[in-house]
Structure 1
Amino acid sequence: MLIAIAGALIISTSAPLVRLSGVSPATSALFRCAYAVPPMLLLAWLERRRLGPLTGKPLYLAWVAGLMFAFDLLFWHHTIDYVGAGLATVLGNLQVFIVAFAAWALFRERPSTPLMIATPVVFGGVVLISGVFDSGAYGADPALGVVTGVATSIAYAAFLLLMKAGSGRAAGPLAHATVVATVAIAALSPLFGGASFVPEWPAHGWLLLLALGPQVLGWSLITYSLPRQPAVLTALLLLVQPVTTVALSAVALGERPSPLQLAGCAVVVLGVLYGSRRGQAGRGVREQDEQVPNTSTV
């Protein structure tokens, strides 16, 4: 849990670093992965020396996870442009609900009654963030930001579940996923506004920091923790990210969401916290599952 929390704190700097770079969404997505490839390959090589090569199903899952990560970053970096770093990070973390229901189907981690109750409440908070009832909503296009933010959450949830279902390693799967994401972002960038392939300074200094910090260190810690705890718990711990990012964005970037948007943030975070609780029925199912061998092949 401490490793996952440390990783979440590190990746909470991602959105502010994207804003500070001042480049297009596709460019920031591309270079945060490209700059991360060399150190990730080194970490994967060291892991391979201890555990052997990554082959078979875990390798294929890492490749698909990389494709999902490419969509996650492309949608999310556009969301940052539309609603700012803080609100974009809150919207991206709707993955908690997607992970919870998908984990029910894939890993027999049954969602609790509080989760069912919290789901419509949280999406009410999303409506507040969208600014549809707010003439003073922060962001260039808050409504479109909600659309891309939800798309981010879907891709983000798929990435987390694929990484959880892999080999239990950290560096190897993440290195493969990062390489695939780099290639996929370069190929898809024309559909997302285009990317500049020529490094420009000092903008790329921020992207280099983004790659070495959140992308390499932060995600290595999170990837290590994913197979070692329930998917919903990891998703809950990642809520450290949006809360911290909203604060960082206010201090470092001067972002000032409207009162209704801040209320929406509070509704989302509190709703996810409540929804991630396990009711008595959920505990009973968990205890029963612990007594039955897991026959899932996922």
Structure 2
Amino acid sequence: MNTSIKSSGKYEILYVIGIIAISFSSIFVRWSDAEVSVIAMYRLYLTNLLMLPLLWKYRKEMFRLTGKQWGLLLFSGLMLALHLLLWMASLRLTTVASSTVILTLEPIIVMFGSFFLFGASINRGMIVGIGLALIGSIAIGSGDFTMSGKAATGDLLSMLGTVAIAVHVLAGKQLLSHLSAFVYNFWVFGIAGTALALYNVFNGFAFTGYSSREWGIFLLLAVVPTLFGHYLFNWLMKVISASAVSMAVLGEPVFASLLAWVLLKESLSALQLWAGALILCGVWIFIRYGKEAPSPKPKKLLATGRKGEVRQ
């Protein structure tokens, strides 16, 4: 379904809930003392555990997938795992403000990728938006480097994590044209969680022995930013435009920075404020004056069920 932002008024409440939900992710990660790969693994596994009661309803669709769909699910899941690993690691090295503001480059990367994958047009407004956002991102990195080399490394990890989540979104955009949000999320969360589990085994990280406080944080991550954040946004991509959904990331640094100021006592430097504003301005220009990428055309290799049927 291809609708404009203006026609999606009835989804505004869910949209705002999703923005606030994902903004809590950085706070919960900073509260935990566990390895970031362990945090991410249990975040995803616990989310799937919470989804189990609905599994019976989608039992027929769960395994009625083509080989290409399985391949895209595997790729999308691996990109999600890489994003969580890199971005969560960045939160241990840089501020919440820097890490989350860099994430606002996601819609730019998604739409730029859509140019090559789906034939989207690129106009002058897009180029201006990209330029401003990149300048702001570089400014944040250089500002952190003058304070700490670790902070600059954290910014780099956040940037790489942003690229990974953008690739994950592009893969999901194609799959969600043919799969229900539940099936897509369940398999992608499971694949990403398993990839992280293998990473933890390889590195010798403990799977048990965590305090009740840590388990509580893992559960909060599963419920708040994953179910009410990522899952919700993936579902919204089926009822409102992809551009509208991608714009949600613009609100994350605002709420996350405020939460970090209140809950973590993090201060905001003048450089972070100005660079963050520049990134937000660039991304807004890019989305406001850019043409939305056309929806990927259904392919027989991806379709499930009867010919011409698109599952919702």
TM-score by length of 2: 0.82
Query: What amino acid maps onto 1:197 in structure 2?
Result: F
* RMSD across aligned positions (CA): 2.6
- Provide closer, same or farther for how the CA distance between residues 125 and 227 of structure 1 changes in structure 2, counting only shifts above 3 A: same
2:288 aligned counterpart, secondary structure = coil
Corresponding residue number in structure 2 for 1:270: 281
Does structure 2 conserve the Cα–Cα contact (< 8 Å) formed by 1:27 and 1:197? yes
1:183-198 to structure 2, matched below 5 A, reads: 183-189=194-200, 195-198=205-208
- Provide closer, same or farther for how the CA distance between residues 189 and 264 of structure 1 changes in structure 2, counting only shifts above 3 A: farther
Q: Does 1:157 align with 2:166?
A: yes
1:283-298 to structure 2, matched below 5 A, reads: 295=297, 297=299
Separation (CA, whole Å) in 2 of partners of 1:72 and 1:52? 25
2:289 aligned counterpart, secondary structure = coil
1:147 to 156, 159, 163: 156
Query: What amino acid maps onto 1:66 in structure 2?
Result: G
Q: Once the two structures are superposed, what CA deviation does each residue of 1:218-270 show, in whole Å capped at 9, x if it has no partner?
A: 22211111244443332112322222111111111111132112211111112
Does structure 2 conserve the Cα–Cα contact (< 8 Å) formed by 1:92 and 1:156? no
Separation (CA, whole Å) in 2 of partners of 1:43 and 1:160? 24
Separation (CA, whole Å) in 2 of partners of 1:37 and 1:67? 16
2:92 aligned counterpart, secondary structure = helix
Query: What amino acid maps onto 2:24 in structure 1?
Result: T
Q: How much does 1:168 deviate?
A: 4.4
Corresponding residue number in structure 2 for 1:235: 246
Query: What amino acid maps onto 2:94 in structure 1?
Result: V
State the number of aligned residues.
285
1:103 aligned counterpart, secondary structure = helix
Identity between Structure 1 and Structure 2 (%): 25
Q: Does 1:172 align with 2:183?
A: yes
Runs (5+) with no aligned partner, structure 1: none
Separation (CA, whole Å) in 2 of partners of 1:62 and 1:42? 22
2:42 to 10, 22, 31: 31
Q: Once the two structures are superposed, what CA deviation does each residue of 1:142-198 show, in whole Å capped at 9, x if it has no partner?
A: 21112111111111001111111112411111010111111101222478x764311
2:212 aligned counterpart, secondary structure = coil
Query: What amino acid maps onto 1:169 in structure 2?
Result: S
